[in-house]
Structure 1
């Protein structure tokens, strides 16, 4: 009897509509006064935060309610300065320093209709803009889909091994398993791949055909 090992790759992707959206806003201001530009971005940030707080419903103990449209928000301010270009005479004395204030603002939405309304309100702020939106699933859904995709990927690989073995009338058994990371993951899906090494038993006649 002859034994050989083949490795087959199984794959399964579970998809789900996104459950959360993380928006990234940029609030910025530029001018000759550090105090002024800082005040401008802070004022806009506080105004937007007030809108979000109305959507972030909380229990009496401060925890966010499950039905809240917004689960969290955060911001970080950065202040930088630079010299203006010199005038025609090369003199910098008439060109005061320029200050740039920037706030990176993040918020996680659980209700996408409210997110759309919030984004529309950005048009009312000259120094605020939407930079990015990231879509993703909750941890509970990721855990559920991760378990499902691992099981299905393994079954996909072992099914292929069985099909190859059946075609040549071999017996097959799994002897090894390796989980591999796919090249890319959907932000609102779970993708899993697996290598399964299968040991096959069979014989060869004098002409070289498997029997």
Structure 2
């Protein structure tokens, strides 16, 4: 008689990020639309020029960047007494800049936070390169399978059943009929802490977790 053993295998590792994508916004508001719009356009050209100085797709420090179209809108706010105030006109544009040199990233952000009035840092997304991510994800899946096999054999040994033999393998949560995978994402973007070092923005990104989870079914005995 054989005994069925079902286990979940997992593996995770941590890797320093290789790219940091800055997400920022340039925005202004005022009583008239034209001056607000022109201010955003003017500052956008200054920011784009500062990016172009650093842009090199192969060597960096900036490997890619993008800007959206300038958006405009107006709203009529209310004061604390419930009175509607005159129109306030807004203009804004989003910017994304991918860095491979994190020192240059901190200097670039610090420069514009200090000198560009309408510049707002929305966040930094940390990531691995696609090639490195794929390599680490494949290794994580392999190690997760090995972990499942080791667990199954340990259970079999505890029962004196002898060697186990695999009969099914799936992403976590998919061994049952009609189920969907519940595995964690292979790559989770890390947070970063910002420090002020003598007026210069210093970013300390956390390592990125690369993980895989599998379910496996074995028989023994």
Q: How high is the TM-score relative to the length of structure 2? A: 0.79
CA distance in 2, matches of 1:13, 1:19: 18
Report the Cα offset of residue 48 of structure 1.
Answer: 1.2
CA distance in 2, matches of 1:78, 1:182: 39
Q: How does 1:12-161 map to 2 (within 5 A)?
A: 12-57=11-56, 64=57, 66-76=58-68, 77-85=70-78, 96-122=86-112, 123-161=114-152
CA distance in 2, matches of 1:119, 1:83: 32
CA distance in 2, matches of 1:139, 1:189: 15
Question: Aligned match of 1:174 in 166, 171, 177?
Answer: 166
Question: Aligned match of 2:188 in 183, 186, 190?
Answer: 186
Aligned to 1:208: none
Report the Cα offset of residue 140 of structure 1.
Answer: 0.3
CA distance in 2, matches of 1:72, 1:131: 18
CA distance in 1, matches of 2:89, 2:107: 32
Provide Cα deviations, 1:41-90, integer angstroms capped at 9, x if missing partner.
Answer: 11111111111110013xxxxxx2x211001111222211112549x9x7
CA distance in 2, matches of 1:149, 1:183: 12
Q: How high is the TM-score relative to the length of structure 1? A: 0.83
Where do 5+ consecutive residues of structure 1 fail to align? 58-63, 202-211
1:200 aligns with 2:214: no
Report the Cα offset of residue 179 of structure 1.
Answer: 1.3
Segments ≥4 residues shifted beyond 4 Å: none
Where do 5+ consecutive residues of structure 2 fail to align? 173-181, 190-207
Residue-pair matches, total: 188
CA distance in 2, matches of 1:42, 1:73: 17
